[in-house]
Amino acid sequence: MTVIDANRMHEIEARYPEYFHRSFRQRFGGLMILIATLLYGLYAVWFFDLPKLFAEAHWERVGIYLSQWVSYDVQPDLRIQDDGSIEVRYPRFSPLGDHPHPDWVVNNPDGSITVSISGISRSVTVSKSETIVTAHGVSVPVDVSSGAPEVVGPVPSWMTVYDDNVLADLGFAGDVSISVDRVKVRKRFLGWANFIFDTQSSFFDKPVGEVIGLVVSGPRIKPDQTNLALAFEDIWNNSEWQHGDVWTKLFQTIVMAFLGTLLGALAAFPLAFLAARNITPNRLLNQILKRFFDFLRSVDMLIWALFLTRAFGPGPLAGSGAIFLTETGTLGKLYSEGLENIDNKPREGIKSTGAQTVLVHRYGIMPQIVPVIVSQTLYQWESNVRGATIIGAVGAGGIGLKLWEAMRTNANWENVAYMVILILIVVFLFDAASNVLRHRLMGTKTH
């Protein structure tokens, strides 16, 4: 074992003071950052009053909205007439069409009507004087012969009694609202109703095999139009899902992102050369352009869209302009910083041969800056596909406006899910295409 004497120890300390005489910041910096982070977290909890916020949040709405994303409901309305008969009505725009006769609504011999909500385990039977709700293994009668509905016997936990009606919550399967003269049923189905053909289509409610047979070799439904053209027209003009309008708006969003990014890159490229200190040795011009870039990108794309929709009206032009202004600032800053970080030796070497400025830039600067330009521009293009969706919600056109309209109704969540899935697919495809294009242009391999 080697023994180090005091003199040798002092010599080592003098040679490596950063290891033996660490400052207070070096010794306790990490701990101080951790304590500061914890204190800031506690402050945020107090400032936003998070316990109260979580306690008063309507968490039950999350399940309701998610269920509406992947399902639809049919709402038969059973009206009890004065003569004791029961009339079944459906909403005007029912997913079942104008004259529905579903097999889960059964007319019984005694004049009552049974609606199966989820097989035989959840159902409701309506008669003149009584409504029986069957769920969770029990049948609960509700007397409707008096002035207000009254539950006969103990009220189960899944029933709520109000002054003029009784609500039976049957979970995802649906619910039943019982009053003296009517029973409203909500029956939920998984899937998206009439996604291909709406209720006005000639192909509505036909089996898949029959539709294929009509399209391929069946007799013409309309004499002046082939069945294939008619089927495509019915799908494209589906009144419930509006496929044609949704896809047109989606294409507008893609065009907005591409056009705005392209114009921003074309404007930022020459300005970046003027803003870079090592390319243009004019400090005043450098600072003016850099502050100009800061201004353009400090105003959010959403704010630019609001300004431009007031100037040009709602539409894709305002959206493209908002992306153009934001990307001019963002790409101008990125390009100029990339230019300032290049190696000046190739540039000086070419300049020493007496080459013109254009040739110096072409062979001394561009080979170094092209990878940065390609990478950053493609990333911004990909990001702007998502950004174009957001600014569309304020009137800048595209699928964002369509998405906002569907969300505002608070009833078309399945349409919202449809558009969200389309946006996710487009973003995924653009991300993959951007990566492939970036690697090919930069000469690297994809993994």
DSSP assignment of 107-147:
E-TTS-EEEEEETBTEEEEE-SSEEEEEETTEEEEEE-SSS
Q: What is the mean pLDDT of residues 410-415?
A: 82
Arithmetic mean of pLDDT over the chain: 86
CA distance 190 to 170: 15
Query: Residue 91: helix, strand or coil by DSSP?
Result: coil
- Would you say residue 236 has pLDDT above 90? yes
Residue with tokens 């001394």: 364
- Would you say residue 83 has pLDDT above 90? no
- Beta-carbon contacts of 129 under 8 Å, excluding residues fewer than 6 positions away, are 143, 144, 145
Burial per residue of 400-439, b for 16 or more beta-carbon CB atoms within 10 angstroms, e otherwise:
bbbbbebeeeeebbbbbbbbbebbeebeeebbeebeeebe
126, two tokens: 């309506």
Tell me the CA distances in angstroms from 342 to 376, 412, 433, 436, one per residue in order.
Answer: 16, 53, 28, 25
- State the DSSP string of 322-375: HHHHHHHHHHHHHHHHHHHTS-HHHHHHHHHTT--HHHHIIIIIHHHHHHHHHH
CA distance 126 to 108: 10
Give the H or E element holding residue 171: none
pTM above 0.85, yes or no: no
Per cent of the chain over pLDDT 90 is 34
1, two tokens: 């074992």
- Would you say residue 403 has pLDDT above 90? no
* Neighbouring C-alpha atoms within 13 Å toward the C-beta of 444: 11
Residue 197 is classified by DSSP as S
Query: Residue 203: helix, strand or coil by DSSP?
Result: coil
CB 391 within 8 A of CB 319: yes
Query: Residue 228: helix, strand or coil by DSSP?
Result: helix
CA-nearest of 312, 325, 329 to 395 is: 312
CA distance 271 to 254: 26
393 or 35: whose pLDDT is higher? 35
Condensed to tens digits (0 to 9), the pLDDT of residues 323-378 reads: 999 999 999 999 998 888 887 777 778 777 777 778 877 777 788 888 888 888 88
CA distance 92 to 104: 19
Q: What is the mean pLDDT of residues 217-225?
A: 86
Condensed to tens digits (0 to 9), the pLDDT of residues 290-314 reads: 999 999 989 888 899 888 888 888 8
Condensed to tens digits (0 to 9), the pLDDT of residues 158-216 reads: 999 998 899 999 888 899 999 988 999 999 999 999 999 998 898 888 888 998 998 88
Tell me the CA distances in angstroms from 213 to 207, 208, 227, 228, one per residue in order.
Answer: 10, 9, 10, 11
CA distance 261 to 267: 10
CA distance 331 to 289: 12
CA distance 253 to 396: 9
Encoded amino acid at 167, one letter = L
pLDDT value of position 16: 67
Q: What is the mean pLDDT of residues 22-30?
A: 74
pLDDT value of position 41: 92
CA distance 239 to 112: 35
- Considering only 103-107, 141-145, 231-235, 354-358, which range has the smallest mean pLDDT? 354-358
Tell me the CA distances in angstroms from 400 to 189, 251, 300, 305, 420, one per residue in order.
Answer: 28, 11, 17, 12, 10
Separation of CA 20 from chain center: 55
Class of domain 243-442: mainly alpha
398 or 125: whose pLDDT is higher? 125
Burial class of residue 224 in the structure, from the number of CB atoms within 10 Å of its CB (0-12 exposed, 13-18 middle, 19+ buried): exposed
pLDDT value of position 263: 94
* Residues in the chain, total: 447
CA-nearest of 209, 192, 208 to 243 is: 192
CA distance 371 to 438: 8
Alpha helices in 21-59 (DSSP H): 24-47, 50-56
